[in-house]
Structure 1
């Protein structure tokens, strides 16, 4: 029987890698984990956590405006960018320390180094030069922001990773992209008082979300003061003598801004890992191809999280890691079910979605009913805030299973977590209707929509 230095060697100490390492170590396995950056990964260091804190900060500008309708005077309010930036960085460092403490507590060995795969059972630390063998190797290296190197002057722009450490807040910013990262940062910068322009190839933001949600959020972004340029891309970025940037768009428009941000998606962190040399199969985007148990085509190598490019969400990476640990170290073969995973977009208005969009449902089923309502939240009435909420249920027949829930409005990410339980459990529209409303709340609209909206100019059934 071969002798290995470790039972498990994890490459990448993000949410997925840390969870797998901790659980395996607590189950009695000899575990090592390597990370060439701070422990915590994208979510903690340069993603979900700092972004959400920035979103909270940007929300105060609208809250201060709304407060006047309720009798509050807040003319003294003043925003200080360095205070926000430094406080967020301090919280990120605190959380990174907790991740390290939890790994130490579980008994995992931590290598602060970049690790590469030498063969099916061997890993080398790049700086130390040491090589270690492991019965199992788990790749959990996540992804990185995409920078369009084919755009002339791309080096003059920033990505979402850079946005958290800006020396000063720009007065004007141009953001390229229409996905959730672009939309969230447009909301953040606009809320902090930055003149914000969003440029994208598509005609609506949030590709992949329900069409009604896309249209609703697009309109609300424009109403909030964000300028949205559709059907265009950035062709060139040049630096002006003043230090500003001159961006030339594919439609011929030229914009002078203080900062250009590329939010054009993310790519799996597989280059330079040595996976191809070890025989691991990657897809066209460079992601590790895995089966339902997160095992690659090489029996001793697994992968979880964004590096597999399945559903690129932190909770998914964690659940994939849990399933891996349960299968390999606890004698409980477990597959994570990727169906009906809820997601959120922290823009203004925020979005929560779970299950099938209307378009997906109609493509898959014959008898689809859609229930939709658009309204002004009670809190916005006295405030004079014109922003509206949208709620939508996609169901199989009039009383059948709820296939999808889509919300765009205050607290949508909080509401969708509970709605996801019902969708995952396969509850029916009849069961939603039988649930008594909580009044006065926005959430009550989810159980009060009684009439389906017409489809293709037909009267509702």
Structure 2
């Protein structure tokens, strides 16, 4: 059978574009369909615009610090309209680069929604149909809003970048990294922020000590954070939305944002009819080579719900292209993946948490909490946390957790050593760079806790 394409990719986000571009460079005839904008969640309504908002939100503290260091500086007011214009201009530029680089590699881009109409056939919303020897699904995920409130004028991380004006107050519902990041961003931009999380502590899955440390820092920055709390009633009211919580308290917020998780984009795509098995949350079930249960159909990125991080999706897309069209027996490595939560301060982490490891083997916990030189001089109460989780048997560093300004930058470098199997002795042999926050990682000599 003669196919229209060797590979057809559904989804123009980071993973899909990487797979398409590399496959085309390796000689494959590649088509790609994207229903919204090239670049996907990360570029258009995720990592990139969020990080630019993080930068914007940091300036009030920076200006306060400048005064403490002797500068005569005043913050003035924040111009959301001016910032938003520059923000979307930058997103337009990045989208153009994604499109141009894919086309330069030889990828044919279809600006339309696509669905499967068989194991080797796709149909576009325009009615066009194409056959492909292989199909790669890289449709990512979308924000989840509980059904009973889906018809209310609430926000998600999709809409937050398109606000006409910043609200005076906002309730953010959720305790994951998206909820916590936007709580810090909006608070830094002058919005009165309340955050509800139904669990006992924010950032489930991260190290417990780091979670508690960050929650304390967020409260000190003025975020009204309530754990063990959930909305039970939300209704429109003069001035915004009236919310009643599980404690019986009622309050009107100008805006309400749901950051209660994301779900894979697999609805109405014809996947099950094509023989693709989906998991409990709607994710595409794949093996280590990103193959689905249907021959010739693969999937990468958040739609598989493995590790939902942009760099992981890119690695999965690269591995797919090299394995299928480059003849290399490669798979994406999902072990010891570092990540960062861009709160104020940031949380950087790699490896096992104290809670994960201490039930399974003897470990030593090294930790230090202190005021950084820059903050202490400026009179800020922020405290840094540096933490290492070390196997007593092998002395390998199993986990590293940092809560500090620029923790994301620090954890990237620490991740290289930990990925290479560094031991506590390797850290100890490394001469400190002084004066820095990160020097604590190589100067902690005595465990603060041991298990058992």
Which TM-score band (shorter chain)?
over 0.9
1:78 and 2:77 equivalent? yes
Within the candidate set 225, 233, 238, 1:236 is matched to 233
| Residue of structure 2 in register with 1:396 after alignment | 391
Instruction: Note the 1:341-380 alignment, pairs <5 A.
Output: 341-365=337-361, 367-380=362-375
d(CA) in 2 for partners of 1:179, 1:84:
26
Which residue of structure 2 aligns with residue 194 of structure 1? 191
The Cα shift of 1:308 comes to 0.1
Classify 1:201/1:278 alpha carbon distance in 2 versus 1 (closer, same or farther; 3 Å).
Answer: same
Equivalence for 2:426 = 431
Q: Structure 1 residue 232: deviation in Å? A: 1.4
| Partner SS for 1:160 | coil
Deviation at 1:86, TM superposition (A): 1.4
CA contact (8 A) 1:143 1:267 kept: yes
Separation in structure 2 between the aligned mates of residue 305 and residue 385 of structure 1, nearest angstrom = 40
Matched residue, 1:215: 212
1:447 corresponding residue in structure 2: 442
2:9, 2:138 within 8 Å by CA — same for their partners in 1?
A: yes
- CA deviations on 1:422-452 (whole Å, 9 max, x unpaired) are 1111111111111111111111111011000
Partners of 2:304 and 2:163 in 1: how far apart? 31
SS at match of 1:371: strand
Match of 2:91 in 1: 92
Contact 1:369–1:398, Cα closer than 8 Å, also in 2: no
Instruction: Report how far residue 364 of structure 1 moved.
Output: 2.8
Q: Which residue of 1 aligns with 2:163?
A: 166
State how many pairs are aligned. Answer: 452
Correspondences of 1:27-426 after superposition (within 5 Å): 27-126=26-125, 128-151=126-149, 155-241=152-238, 243-365=239-361, 367-397=362-392, 400-426=395-421
**1:436 partner SS:** coil
Structure 1 runs (4+) greater than 4 angstroms displaced: none
TM score, norm. by length of structure 2 = 0.98
Partner of 2:12: 13
Report the CA distance between 1:78 and its aligned residue. 2.1
Q: Does 1:4 align with 2:3?
A: yes
1:399 offset after TM fit, Å?
6.6
Note the alpha carbon deviations across 1:275-317, whole angstroms, 9 max, x for none: 0000100000000000000000112000000000000000000
Q: Secondary structure at the match of 1:138?
A: strand
How far 1:268 sits from its partner (Å)?
A: 0.1
Instruction: Please list every run of 5 or more consecutive structure 1 residues that lacks an aligned counterpart in the other structure.
Output: none
State how far apart, in whole Å, the 2-side matches of 1:11 and 1:140 are: 6
Q: Would the aligned equivalents of 2:60 and 2:75 in 1 still touch at CA under 8 Å?
A: no
Q: CA offsets, 1:345-403, max 9 Å, x none?
A: 000110000000011111232x2111000011110112101001000000111871100
2:102, 2:331 → 1: CA distance?
24
Q: Mean alpha-carbon deviation: is it higher for 64-73 or for 312-321?
A: 64-73
For residues 269 and 330 of structure 2, the distance between their equivalents in structure 1, rounded to whole angstroms, comes to 27
2:359 counterpart SS class: helix
Distance 2:423 2:295 in 1: 41
RMSD over aligned Cα atoms: 1.2
Distance 1:313 1:234 in 2: 29
Distance in 1 between residues matched to 2:59 and 2:135, nearest whole Å: 45
Quote the offset at 1:157 in angstroms: 1.0
